Amino acid sequence: MKRRDFLAASGAVFAGSLLVNPLQASGFAAPKRKLAMVGTGSRGLSFWGRRIIQQYGDIIEFVGLCDINPGRLETGRKALGISCPVFTDFGELLRKAKPDLLIVTTVDATHDEFIIKGMEAGCDVLTEKPMTTDEFKCQAILDAEKKTGKKLIVGFNYRYGTQFTRLKELLAEKRVGDITSVDFHWYLNTYHGADYFRRWHGHRNKGGTLLCHKASHHFDLLNWWIDSDPVEVVAHGSLEHYGKNNPFRGTKCRGCEHKEKCKFYYDITRNREYMELYVANEKHDGYIRDNCLWRESIDIFDKMAVQIKYANNVQVSYSLTTYSPFEGMSIAFNGKTGRIDSWEGLPWRQKEMANQAELHAREMSQQAERSERYDEIYVSDNFGKSELVKVPQMRAGHGGGDARLQDKIFRNPDLADPLKHAAGSRDGAMSVLIGVAARKSIDEKRIVRIEELTTLKPHPTRGV
């Protein structure tokens, strides 16, 4: 029996949704999907690289790695324990390695180049968020996808978290009627928040400001929960804490003369992985992982407030703070018959105080850790009672969302997706366009309409 006939007989549509590849189960050697990755930094290696090799090695193989930094590229290949070819020239990777699927995990403002060239070379592409950092690059990506007929997946892992999924279910079943407004506030602590200002994220030409880099996660959640497209954005933002807002500064934390008095002193020498990946390879490109967060060149905002109006008339009040004593969020959905509240990490609500540095490490870790704890969602009916919905917590990589996202992409791509967790280019665009519009609104002091940015037209029910 030929491979194609076997798939037809065994139900080809289910082939991707079975936990065991049917060809392998039958003794056929199914060809592995050929994967390449550009960007061998910490996200590329830890979340995509290492995890793919561990979890999906039976169906996927790396055929090439690419990074602009030859040292980090080689360190990365060794860390993954693979022998595939490495390239500092992306064109050469495409020509020689001929991947089926390309993963893009580079600096945000460079995603567009790799997404477009990858699709033009015949690859499907999986990009890290944010899809890109401005409206022109966004349009170019949408055009390239249309022209090439290739598929772009955006790695929105937050959608897959248990707490956020439960919220989506409650909203989809209209537990508190139609939603009319949402209050969403996100707090980054003085470890996680500060870390963005040490690196390229502090420069808008690299990360598009945290309105794109970080908040695109949150804007995507809002678009998905509200199930409508954004139409208008107005925002405020300033840089009042980091960057130029300090009387002293150095070049980097290592050897800094202000080490004793700087509350943000960060000792990278205690992190062996970062020493090998970043410090040992500074000589190639000058990427300083423990850069001074008081650099005067930092040109992003460290506090941001955004109002978003949706095509279905829902209005959102969103804020992002980057120097909070704790890491957390609060969200409230105001509906016609009640309200849904949820939160994460707010110390006055927690039974035990969390160590903020450990908490950040755990959040980024890929080791699944069962927890006795649960997330809380309160559903309150107008003129009625409040009900507590307990969602068991999974303390690993964004609430366990990282792992579920990868299973959907690599192991079970055809599995039914009733809550529409899977995200494509339109989702990537709509989330980043809110960030772009907010940045423009702050710069130009005006309301920005989403439809002035690209050819995408907002729909009252989230478009495809």
Ligand X SMILES: NC(=O)c1ccc[n+]([C@@H]2O[C@H](COP(=O)([O-])OP(=O)(O)OC[C@H]3O[C@@H](n4cnc5c(N)ncnc54)[C@H](O)[C@@H]3O)[C@@H](O)[C@H]2O)c1
Cβ neighbours for 217, distance < 8 A, ≥ 6 positions apart: 129, 156, 158, 431
Q: How many residues bind ligand X (CB under 6 A)?
A: 23
Among 36, 52, 69, 310, binds ligand X (CB under 6 A): 69
Residues 72-111: x/- map of binding to ligand X (CB under 6 A)?
Answer: x--------------------------------xxxx-x-
Shortest separation between residue 284's beta carbon and ligand X, angstroms: 8
CB of residue 360 to ligand X, shortest distance in Å: 12
Report which of 227, 197, 436, 413 is spatially closest to residue 322, judged by C-alpha positions: 197
Whole-number minimum distance, CB 459 to ligand X, in Å? 26
Min dist CB 3 to ligand X, Å, is 35
Give the residue at shortest CB distance from ligand X: 41
* Binding region for ligand X (CB under 6 A) out of 53-61, 68-76, 330-338, 444-452: 68-76
Q: What kind and span of H or E run contains 386? A: strand 386-394
Q: From the list 43, 151, 362, 449, which residue makes contact with ligand X (rule: CB under 6 A)? A: 43
| 331 belongs to the binding site for ligand X (CB under 6 A) | no
Q: Give the bridge partners for 380, in sequence order.
A: 339, 386
CA distances from 309 to 79, 124, 180, 315 (A): 45, 33, 10, 5
Which of these segments, 61-69, 238-246, 373-381, 449-457, binds ligand X (CB under 6 A)?
Answer: 61-69
Shortest Cβ 402–ligand X spacing (Å): 7
Beta strands in 56-203 (DSSP E): 60-66, 86-87, 101-104, 124-127, 152-154, 179-189
**What residues numbered 126-165 form the site for ligand X, per CB under 6 A?**
128-129, 155, 157
Residue 171 within binding range of ligand X, rule CB under 6 A? no
Contact present, 33 and 61 (Cβ < 8 Å): yes
Closest CA to 241 of 146, 121, 330, 321: 321
Three-state DSSP class for 66?
Answer: strand
Pairwise CA distance, residues 244 & 226, whole Å: 38
User: Would you count residue 40 as binding ligand X (CB under 6 A)?
Assistant: yes
CA–CA dist 176, 120 (Å, integer): 46
CB neighbour class for 351 (10 Å; exposed up to 12, middle 13-18, buried from 19):
exposed
Q: Which residues bind ligand X (CB under 6 A)?
A: 38-44, 66-69, 72, 105-108, 110, 128-129, 155, 157, 213, 398
